[in-house]
Structure 1
Amino acid sequence: MARAIWSGVLSFGLVTVPVSLYTAIEDHTTHFRLLQRGTSDRVRNKRVNERTGREVPFENTVKGYPLGDEEEGAEYVVVEREELDRIAPGKSQLVEISGFVDLNDVEPVYFDRTYYLGPRGKEYVKVYQLLRTALERSNRAGIATFVMRSKQYLTAVRAQPGVLVLQTMHWADEIRDPQETVPGLPEGMDLSGKESGKEVDLALRLIDGLSVDWNPEEYRDTYEEKVAELVEAKRQGEETAVAQAPPEATNVVDLMQALQASIDRAGERAGGKGRKKAAGGSPSAVRKAKREAGPELRRMKKEELYERATEIGVPGRSRMNREELIDALSKATRRKKAA
């Protein structure tokens, strides 16, 4: 079991429940070491005095706030770490919900990191579950502030199946105005102007045709998989893949045609026609591939199918859906038997 990173009390109104906070996210990023080219020598970062070029121990450093342009030799207000500690919010043991907001009213840009909240003891489960159920049914989040590691956070306490989660949020003055940040943004959609009603209707039909049930297990970090494959290929002395060029932007003149073609393609996928190519072309080939797949492959989850495809080296497996993985594994099995 994971260790709690914070413990305290969650309160809403006059109701309180002791809780613990747990990290909800694991980082699976591939980490490299920095080496000097042509050697196996590690390259490390050091704190160096820019004027003398000498290394400075951490205990001999202080924080400085620049006054004016640093490029022109600015003066600094020097602040000791102890001074920052004295004005930092005290260690808080309370997450006090000050109000509940509709989740549909909170723009995604405000959410930052996600943590799990758990009750600190079986005697608190009933109150904990009461709040979780109420938040789930009302589609609301409790807004609160709390202090962890000498830093104050704005947070949203919300329901997830079987557990409460606490999401840290950005303060309002940390959010940039998109109109001031991103050049070329439209002022708004004007259906009587350039964005014709027919174009919007086609876009809505395309979205509807590509709509799927949310299943996070269907999505994989394909870039990290390719990084791992690259490392393994280089370890084996093999050649690495050539990067593919990104698709060209849709020409506004061809927008209607591109939308309609996309809708047709989405309809083919929904009807199963998009799998003909992977299985061999004709409908009979699709049926044959499915028969030869056998009950074993049909019972496997997509993750298990992907692992088997990785073991036997099925090309393009990272871009395949479950049906395509079954078809590819079936063809690989037939080739193996024929050999």
Structure 2
Amino acid sequence: MRALWSGVIQFGLVVLPVKLFSATEEHPVRLREIHTADGGRVQHRRFCEAEDREIGYEEVGRGWELPDGRLVPLTDEDLERLPLASRHVVEVLGFVPWQDIDPISFSRPYYVGPDGPPAERPYALLVEALARTGQVGVCKVAVRSRERIALLRPRHGILILQTLLWQDELRDPGDLAPSAPVTEREQELELAEVLMRECTGVEVGQLRDEYRHALEELVAAKVSGGQLAARPEPVPAVDLMAALEESVRAARAHQGG
């Protein structure tokens, strides 16, 4: 893997040289944009508003837009001089229990590797200390031109830097919570808990993305002129109690089989 960030982790007086590596790799299914009238491919080209002409990618830079609409060009060299401590230093601000972190704020995980033999001992020390205490380190880091709050946590003997969303990036759910009371039907609640216990033991590692396969089936049908059979849609239960009881029976039969 190629490192995308290098710097140091600092906690107390301990300074640990590290490198960051992408921990995930998504495999999205990408559809081509086409002109619906004739099926031709659609291309996106870059035009300069000032010169009213198409320009090449090598001519494209970045800039900051002022309130009056003017653009201030910013080069890579300018961004390297950004007065931000977290550009090359992951400063651990404190430690909190792992269970205190709400997963809704999770953004992107990175593998953290020690940068050179002298870093290996303090690296192993931090991994083991976090694993024993069940704590995670709360820190700030600037990755990919964004400063993020992040967590340092152990996983299988290595450190993970888990970036988080800022509080103002979490949307208010509003009035999505149901108004129907739950406590009136205690029997339904107990049966729902039974169903959850019967349906434990999911092997997440065995699950696969079926979207690509379904899309290939659809494309094959369109090319051959055939038709795909419509899949039945789930129907909301009219009698919740009956649906729960049937679900429990089905789950027990599946476990037994």
Structure-1-length-normalised TM-score: 0.64
State the aligned residue count.
250
Q: Which residue of the other structure, out of 197, 203, 208, is the alignment partner of 2:197?
A: 208
How much identity, in percent, do the aligned residues show?
Answer: 33
Where does residue 250 of structure 2 map in the other structure?
A: 265
The structure richer in strand per residue is 2
Where does residue 80 of structure 1 map in the other structure?
A: 72
Q: Which of the pair has the greater relative contact order for Cα pairs under 8 Å at 6+ separation?
A: 2
Where does residue 102 of structure 1 map in the other structure?
A: 97
Where does residue 137 of structure 1 map in the other structure?
A: 132
Distance, in Å, in 1 between the alignment partners of 2:236 and 2:253 is: 23
**261-270 vs 28-37, which moves further:** 28-37
Distance, in Å, in 2 between the alignment partners of 1:158 and 1:62 is: 35
User: What is the CA-CA distance between 1:160 and the residue it aligns to?
Assistant: 1.3
User: What is the CA-CA distance between 1:245 and the residue it aligns to?
Assistant: 3.9
Runs of 4+ in 1 over 3 A off after TM superposition: 37-41, 46-50, 54-66, 83-91, 189-193, 228-231
Where does residue 19 of structure 2 map in the other structure?
A: 20
User: What is the CA-CA distance between 1:164 and the residue it aligns to?
Assistant: 1.4
User: What is the CA-CA distance between 1:117 and the residue it aligns to?
Assistant: 0.9
1:52-91 equivalences in 2 (<5 Å): 55=53, 57=55, 64=65, 76-82=68-74, 88-90=82-84
User: What is the CA-CA distance between 1:258 and the residue it aligns to?
Assistant: 1.0
**17-26 vs 237-246, which moves further:** 237-246
Deviations 1:55-86 (A, max 9, x none): 564759965466xxxxxxxxx44241339957
Q: Indicate how the Cα distance of structure 1 residues 221 and 175 shifts in structure 2: closer, same or farther if over 3 A, else same.
A: same
Q: Is the 8 A contact 1:89 1:152 kept in 2?
A: no
Q: Is the 8 A contact 2:62 2:73 kept in 1?
A: no
Distance, in Å, in 2 between the alignment partners of 1:145 and 1:61 is: 24
User: What is the CA-CA distance between 1:142 and the residue it aligns to?
Assistant: 0.9
Q: Which runs of 5+ in 2 are unaligned?
A: none
Deviations 1:259-298 (A, max 9, x none): 11111111111111xxxxxxxxxxxxxxxxxxxxxxxxxx
Q: Which structure's CA Rg is the greater one?
A: 1
Distance, in Å, in 2 between the alignment partners of 1:9 and 1:162 is: 19
Distance, in Å, in 1 between the alignment partners of 2:18 and 2:201 is: 35
Distance, in Å, in 2 between the alignment partners of 1:218 and 1:249 is: 28
Q: Indicate how the Cα distance of structure 1 residues 99 and 25 shifts in structure 2: closer, same or farther if over 3 A, else same.
A: same
2:100 maps to a residue whose letter is D
1:261 maps to a residue whose letter is E
